[in-house]
Amino acid sequence: MKKVTVLGSGRVGHAIAADLANQHAVTVVDQEPSRLMALEQFGHGSKLIQTDLSATDRLAPIVRETDLVINALPGYLGYRILETLIGLGRDIVDISFLPENPLDLDEKARRAGVTAVIDAGVAPGLSNLIAGYHAVRMQVENFVCYVGGLPFKRTYPYQYKAPFSPVDVIEEYTRPARLVENGRVVTRPALSEPELIDFEPIGTLEAFNTDGLRSLLQTLKIPNMKEKTLRYPGHIDLMRVLRETGFFSTQPVEIGGSWIRPIDMTTRVIFPHWQTVPGDDEFTLMQINVEGFEAGCKVRYEYRLFDRFDSATGTSSMARTTGYTCTAIANLLLNQDFHQAGVIPPERLGESQPCFEKILAYLRERRVAVTVNRVENSGA
């Protein structure tokens, strides 16, 4: 039995710890007692440690004897935690989706002999895995990922609840989106190039550019790539109004003699409306289109993932799809099915057919089904 330490026990961290506790000795670290109590209540048998990991010097004694660390902390802590763990010589699977470029730590990880798999969620994560799988098996010309997590019940005015950190959600509305067009990285505003698309069994959703390609911008030479986030129709216009009016600004303004950042006020007001509650029925939808040439034929692969809240375990679809992709990758490392020193984006795992197939099989065992349809046009 291997020893695994999970940093962070939010919704996704909870799902990760519960899944791994069936096979390994798990230690969970979080600063919120209520989150740790929830794990204890469900009887997963994990060792629980309450501490604030913003003080990274507390990590060393916690991870000294662990075989693998999973970083499920918020993105603003991600880079410092990742760098500290590499310095401590611990193998890592990271889903913090840190805003910095984790590939900058690649040389440090190589020197330390550490395997650090980053962005090991659903998107980025599973989407990268699919891109990497096809990039070494065909001439990919176009890669598009549509992805979103939404409540089934549409409630005015937002028709949305945040399945992960609401602060990270707002980043999707403000951070410019980097795409690849004709072999060049280009930048588009967040919320740009909206389109309406019909998805079974949900109906019509709207899609907009987001900055989700991440490591794919550096690792794969695909001439056209983009990621688009999915919401119910009308959400884009509402977020644009808030953004353009300045409600997401980080520049302080004076109100009644006090200086505050508009985004701090906005998050305080909006987040209660976005808060999910236990039992909320929600879903995660991802569609990936891969187009190009294979064995002289023009082909199109369409991948589809649709996952819904698990009422039996009370686990959200976003926690399932993100968490179980992470634990699938964690088991690859723990079982020595993959070992390569450095900072490893998921597309590198996808290049290995055994790794690719084991991750998809692991997800299927947990009823997270990824389907694929291949269309060939030999006359193209």
pTM for this prediction: 0.93
Q: What is the pLDDT of residue 43?
A: 64
Average of pLDDT values for 27-53? 85
| Whether residue 5 has pLDDT greater than 50 | yes
CB atoms under 10 Å from CB of 226, counted, come to 22
- Band (pLDDT 50/70/90 cuts) for residue 26 is very high
Q: What is the pLDDT of residue 34?
A: 85
Q: What is the pLDDT of residues 222-244, one digit of tens each?
A: 999 999 999 999 999 999 999 99
Q: What is the pLDDT of residues 261-308, one digit of tens each?
A: 999 999 889 988 888 877 889 999 999 999 999 999 999 999 999 999
| Whether residue 124 has pLDDT greater than 50 | yes
CB atoms under 10 Å from CB of 61, counted, come to 9
Q: Residues 6 or more apart from 288 whose CB is under 8 A from it? A: 127, 130, 131, 143, 144, 145, 146, 301, 302, 303
Least confident of 41-55, 129-143, 288-302, 351-365: 41-55
All domains of the chain in start order, with CATH: 3-121+318-366 (3.40.50.720), 126-308 (3.30.360.10)
Average of pLDDT values for 55-59? 92
Q: What is the pLDDT of residue 164?
A: 66
**Residues 196, 203 contacting (CB under 8 angstroms):** no
Q: What is the pLDDT of residue 76?
A: 87
In 3-state terms the chain splits into helix, strand, coil percentages (rounded to 5) of 35, 30, 35
Q: What is the pLDDT of residue 380?
A: 45
Q: Shortest CA distance to 338 belongs to which of 105, 84, 87, 117?
A: 117
Q: What is the pLDDT of residue 165?
A: 67
Average of pLDDT values for 15-30? 94
- Band (pLDDT 50/70/90 cuts) for residue 8 is very high
| Whether residue 127 has pLDDT greater than 50 | yes
Q: Which two tokens stand for residue 139?
A: 């001439």
Average of pLDDT values for 130-147? 98
Q: What is the pLDDT of residue 46?
A: 83
Strand partners, 303: 288, 372
| Whether residue 42 has pLDDT greater than 80 | no
Q: Which residue has the higher pLDDT, 199 or 168?
A: 199
Mean pLDDT of the chain: 93
Q: What is the pLDDT of residues 89-99, one digit of tens each?
A: 999 999 998 88
Average of pLDDT values for 323-348? 97
CA 73 to centroid of chain Cα atoms: 12
Average of pLDDT values for 138-154? 96
Average of pLDDT values for 244-262? 94
**Residues 56, 28 contacting (CB under 8 angstroms):** no
Pairing of strands 253-255, 370-377: unpaired
| Whether residue 185 has pLDDT greater than 80 | yes
Average of pLDDT values for 173-201? 96
